[in-house]
Amino acid sequence: MTATLEAADGVGTLRLDRPPMNALDVATQDRLKELAEEATRREDVRAVVLYGGEKVFAAGADIKEMQVMDHAAMILRARALQDAFTAVARIPKPVVAAVTGYALGGGCELALCADFRIAGENAKLGQPEILLGLIPGAGGTQRLSRLVGPSRAKDLIFTGRQVRAEEALALGLVDRVVPAAEVYEQAHAWAARLAKGPATALRAAKEAIDTGLETDIETGLAVERNWFAGLFATEDRERGMRSFVEEGPGKAEFL
């Protein structure tokens, strides 16, 4: 298998497993889509960690595989590539990327699909496709610019340069930098905390935020309004408010 999904205590670890560099070939892309859809369906998965292992997250696409593809072949493949990454981005549960070593090209784009990114001090991120005469094709031009702003995204994409963890943190490309040996542990802890939260409300928050970023504010407000009202029909809302009134804030336990 080029990637696996294992769950424990509400946290699903979606791990890339294509040594030595986790190059994202067609088989791995398709497997990512399958596992993202599985994580979406599974009730025992309430939050997800994206992980490439202790040494590398993902060093990018399989260039040897891509080299033999012509224009007609890539027209057919480009949509499937984007669909695989979009499936990860649309997992309706909290998703954190645990980034060690290289996260370049498609690897960086995969990290961009997460809600939160924890990077090791040894991490290097970037979109080097321009150095191949290409541009990012798995969402990088869109997700990166939404995350760090258009000017910073253009700098990274136009130059193809790699950034170390501390610069990535300053740019807003990652959210936390920790010792490399602690990356998975801290990512799992972040996911485990949210796995104990109200699943429907977390899904609502993620959908409202993501939809709002992709559309105008009036549409975003309508999505927020509909979810906000709809949550009043859930057991989690009843449980949370009852606990607040009887025990004080922050003590509710959700199923």
Query: Catalytic pick from 59, 126, 129, 153?
Result: 129
Judge contact between 126 and 160, C-beta under 8 A: yes
Judge contact between 108 and 153, C-beta under 8 A: no
From 107, 114, 109, 106, select the one nearest 88 (Cα to Cα): 114
Our answer to whether residue 129 is catalytic in this structure is: yes
Cα angle value 51/55/57 (rounded, 5°): 35
| Token pair belonging to 237 | 């809302």
Our answer to whether residue 61 is catalytic in this structure is: yes
Buried b (16+ CB within 10 A) or exposed e, 155-185: ebbeebebbebeebbebebbbebbebeebbe
Query: Catalytic pick from 101, 105, 106, 126?
Result: 106
Query: Catalytic pick from 3, 59, 101, 109?
Result: 109
Our answer to whether residue 182 is catalytic in this structure is: no
Query: Catalytic pick from 23, 39, 59, 61?
Result: 61
The order of strands in the sheet holding 116-120 is: 3-8, 11-16, 47-51, 95-99, 116-120, 176-178
Our answer to whether residue 121 is catalytic in this structure is: no
Residues tagged active-site: 61, 106, 109, 129
